[in-house]
Amino acid sequence: MSGVLLWVVSPKENASSLLGLMPRICTPRRLGFSSRVLAYSGAVVNPARSSEEKVYEVVLKQAALVKEQSTVKRKSLDLDERIVTEGLDNWDLLDKAYDRCGEVCAEYAKTFYLGTLLMTPERRRAVWAIYVWCRRTDELVDGPNASYITPKALDRWEKRLTDLFEGRPYDMYDAALSDTVTKYPVDIQPFRDMVEGMRLDLRKSRYQNFDELYLYCYYVAGTVGLMSVPVMGICPESSASTESVYNAALALGIANQLTNILRDVGEERGRVYLPQDELAQAGLSDDDIFRGKVTDKWQSFMKGQIKRARMFFDEAEKGVSELNSASRWPVWASLLLYRQILDAIEANGFDNFTKRAYVGKAKKFVSLPVAYGRAIIGPSKLTKQLVLR
Ligand SMILES: CC(C)=CCC/C(C)=C/CC/C(C)=C/CC/C(C)=C/[C@@H]1[C@@H](COP(=O)(O)OP(=O)(O)O)[C@]1(C)CC/C=C(\C)CC/C=C(\C)CCC=C(C)C
Ligand SMILES: [Mn+2]
């Protein structure tokens, strides 16, 4: 499967970054969640612009795009016409491309795949197409061929991304995503930013503070939330602002990635994602991580890290009920399952060096009906009152 996933072709394109791309339109006070979380971490909110501010600009831009859906539909028509005039009107091929995406998703993320089966067929296959693109991108730096990946290869991958967004897909998986982005108000920016996250993984192995880590988490995981919401859809009865739903989606990505980092401490091939300043404040260093000894200092450090990850999950929870009803169940399921990895780290006595934190089959099994129960609860009336006030 990895061979298929790692097919990187075509010439260079310069790296793009969200840094400095957009005008300054927000301040920490206007931000929804993590100024609180950043404050908790002791991170200084940079008087220039914190990562949170930069990322929030992307959130605002994505939320605004939903309002431009009609333009997107017109674009979709253009593409359909192009396919027909070029004699490529083979809908069977497109269906097959989506089916293949579904197969990859089922292989790599079984529980999530089952959840997507509850969505409408249109939405489900669009989520699969996004999933496959993300998985392939992640495999570039995390998969078996990671040691051969260069910045140039990532530039080529990004060029290929631009091509597929412009209706020139390179292979079947790209063709599925190319179709998806014409049907939903999905913007290229979060995709580009995920590639930027992969570039960071190639060149950076230490994060000085939480601000730096936050940006990395946005690149590799917060982006997934921003890509997914336009497809999953916001419930028509929701009175929450679009921006707040995107913010929750971003929070879920960040929470997942922080959890991933805490679970995988010690397995990161020389990379240390934990903020250096927080390690130092706790009297710890990289060597303590490489030695892998569970000490009192380590345990109390981990408690703080877990607390922060949970705060991001709490933020994410606020948005799930605002999603379209059929999308809520898989999101709740993934949130509850991932969140329990934090409980597992605690249950292991914070020994993430010799014990892998995982959620057992029984717990997974119990989580699914719990997620279902939460999913049937729609947009909160409370949100409605707050927004109307
Ligand atoms: C319902 C749901 C979860 C939808 C998301 C579907 C989707 C497009 C997933 C792509 C995931 C992916 C392959 C990302 C690539 C980068 C990556 C691997 C990130 C890590 C995921 C965990 O994977 P794993 O444990 O396998 O990690 P390893 O590679 O093995 O180290 C991440 C930790 C992040 C994934 C981020 C999300 C799933 C964000 C989900 C957010 C939403 C779906 C938004 C929901 C909306 C609201 C309002 C809360
Ligand atoms: Mn990975």
The answer to whether the predicted template modeling score (pTM) of the entire model surpasses 0.80 is yes
Nearest CA to ligand 1 atom 42: 225
Instruction: Give Cα 202 distance to the centre of its chain.
Output: 19
- Asked if residue 188 lies in contact with residue 162, where contact means CB atoms within 8 angstroms, the answer is yes
Show which of 147, 165, 184 is a domain's final residue: 184
| Ligand 1 and 8: CB distance under 6 A | no
Show which of 160, 184, 208 is a domain's final residue: 184
Q: Is 267 helix (H, G, I), strand (E, B) or coil?
A: coil
Instruction: Give Cα 23 distance to the centre of its chain.
Output: 24
Q: What angle do CA 127, 131, 136 make, to 5 degrees?
A: 155
First and final C-alpha spacing in the chain: 53
Q: What is the pLDDT of residue 31?
A: 46
Spell 34-72 as b/e; 16+ CB within 10 A means b.
bbebbeebebebeeebbbbbbbbbbbbbbbebbeeeeeb
Domain span at 106: 69-184
- Asked if residue 276 lies in contact with residue 207, where contact means CB atoms within 8 angstroms, the answer is yes
- Asked if residue 213 lies in contact with residue 29, where contact means CB atoms within 8 angstroms, the answer is no
Question: Does residue 77 lie in a domain region?
Answer: yes
Q: What is the pLDDT of residue 22?
A: 25
CATH code for position 291: 1.10.600.10
Q: What is the pLDDT of residue 66?
A: 78
Q: What is the pLDDT of residue 354?
A: 94
Nearest to 353 by CA among 291, 278, 303: 291
| Ligand 1 and 326: CB distance under 6 A | no
Question: Does residue 152 lie in a domain region?
Answer: yes
Which one of the ligands is nearest to 197 CA? 1
Q: How far is the CA of 299 from the centre of ligand 1 (A)?
A: 27
| Ligand 1 and 336: CB distance under 6 A | no
Please tell me the distance from the alpha carbon of residue 73 to that of residue 75, in angstroms, as a whole number: 5
| Ligand 1 and 309: CB distance under 6 A | no
CA separation (Å) from 12 to 5, 161, 178, 199, 373? 19, 12, 20, 14, 48
State ipTM.
0.93
The reply to whether 167 and 304 lie within a common domain is: no
Show which of 184, 218, 240 is a domain's final residue: 184
The reply to whether 252 and 389 lie within a common domain is: yes
Walk along the chain (389 residues) and give the pLDDT tens digit of each residue: 444 443 333 322 222 222 222 222 222 233 445 444 544 444 444 557 899 999 999 999 999 987 666 445 444 434 444 444 344 457 789 999 999 999 999 999 988 898 899 899 999 999 999 999 999 999 999 999 999 999 999 999 999 999 999 999 999 999 999 999 999 999 999 999 999 999 999 999 999 999 999 999 999 999 999 999 999 999 999 999 999 999 999 999 999 999 999 999 978 778 999 999 999 999 999 999 999 999 999 999 999 999 999 999 999 999 999 999 999 999 999 999 999 999 999 999 999 999 999 999 999 999 999 999 999 998 975 554 444 33
The reply to whether 139 and 92 lie within a common domain is: yes
| Ligand 1 and 219: CB distance under 6 A | no
Question: Does residue 2 lie in a domain region?
Answer: no
Number of structural domains the chain divides into: 2
C-alpha torsion sign, points 350, 353, 359, 360: negative
